[in-house]
């Protein structure tokens, strides 16, 4: 879709699409959290119903921690990407 937008859309259409996406971002995040919480509740219910052992507490804590993290719009930095030093660090020569 991005390639199609780049080729066929005007800058105004691209800006409008970008604005629409960012406007719905918070709502999509809330919906994802709601679905995840519902999934956790259902899993807990099924474990109780069938008498299965509880999940490891550490694993359950990690799942809830994921829900409380802020959304990263830009993604994560690559581990092998060259870092840009600050002005003081780069004066030593390259």
pLDDT at 34 over 90: yes
Residues in contact with 93: Cβ distance below 8 Å, sequence separation at least 6, in sequence order: none
Is 38 inside a domain boundary?
Answer: yes
Q: Is residue 33 part of a domain?
A: yes
**Is position 54 within any domain?**
yes
Please give the tally of structural domains in the chain.
Answer: 1
Residue 38: per-residue pLDDT: 95
Handedness of CA 53, 37, 41, 43 (dihedral sign): negative
Per the listing, tokens 């690559």 go with 78
> Which pLDDT does position 86 carry in this prediction?
60
Return phi, psi of residue 93, to 5°.
105, 155
Is residue 39 in a domain? yes
Please, what is the angle between helix 57-68 and helix 11-50, to 10°?
160
Q: Which domain holds residue 40?
A: 20-67
**Is 91 among the domain residues?**
no
Pairwise CA distance, residues 25 & 5, whole Å: 19
Task: Check residue 79 and give its pLDDT.
Answer: 76
List CB contacts of 84: < 8 A, sequence separation 6 or more.
90
As a whole-number percent, the residues of the chain with pLDDT over 70 amount to 82
C-beta of residue 47 within 8 angstroms of C-beta of residue 53:
yes
The pLDDT of 21-49, averaged and rounded, is 91
Average model confidence (pLDDT) across the chain: 80
- Confidence label for 88 from pLDDT (cuts 50, 70 and 90): low
């Amino acid at each position: 879709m991005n390639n199609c937008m780049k080729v066929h859309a005007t800058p105004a259409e691209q800006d409008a699409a970008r604005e629409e996406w960012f406007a719905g971002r918070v709502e999509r995040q809330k919906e994802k959290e709601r679905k995840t919480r519902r999934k956790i509740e259902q899993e807990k219910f099924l474990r109780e119903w069938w008498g299965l052992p509880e999940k490891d507490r550490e694993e359950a804590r990690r799942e809830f921690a994921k829900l409380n993290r802020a959304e990263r719009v830009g993604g994560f930095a690559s581990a092998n990407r060259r870092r840009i030093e600050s002005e003081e660090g780069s004066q030593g020569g390259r």
